[in-house]
Amino acid sequence: MTERAFRVSDETLGARRVAFVKARWHDDIVDQCQAGFERELDRAAAAGETPTWSIEVFEAPGAFEIPLLARDLARSGRYAAIVGAAFVVNGGIYRHEFVADTVVGALMQVQMESDVPVLSAVLTPHNFHDSAEHRRFFLDHFLVKGEEAARACLAVTATRLAIRRAV
């Protein structure tokens, strides 16, 4: 039987440390994702569903830079998971779809090459107008997306540890 090599150690997976990389474009909206993420991890720990997690936050100028930082963080070997958060909107040019597709694809590439789960909260709405109604909607929506990213983080790291114990 051949020995299986995992690039991320069980110790790192079990350390409960996550890197949260967020873009600064539309920072008030993107910050809601971080708030929801932290709130859900705190709720899960208080309910005894998981031990307490440590969250380290990193800022990127925009969405396009998130995969580079995610790669550097994955290579550090310090994180059980990495989350990328950004709000990529249509500013009247087609480029927003290219940016979003490129960022999400690059995050997947980082995940597959580094063996570190990289979760995406990089969202591109079909329509965003800088109005009070749209801002309110997306402020609330990003809070929910942060909570969902936290649950996904807990699930994927727990499943990976379970798989390793079974092999």
Q: Catalytic residue positions?
A: 95
Report the relative pairing of strands 54-60 and 17-23 from DSSP bridges. parallel
Q: Which amino acid is at 164?
A: R
Contact (CB, 8 A) for 73 and 8: no
Cα dihedral 126, 132, 137, 139, rounded to 10, equals: 110
Sign of the alpha-carbon torsion through 136, 138, 143, 148: positive
Sign of the alpha-carbon torsion through 62, 63, 64, 70: positive
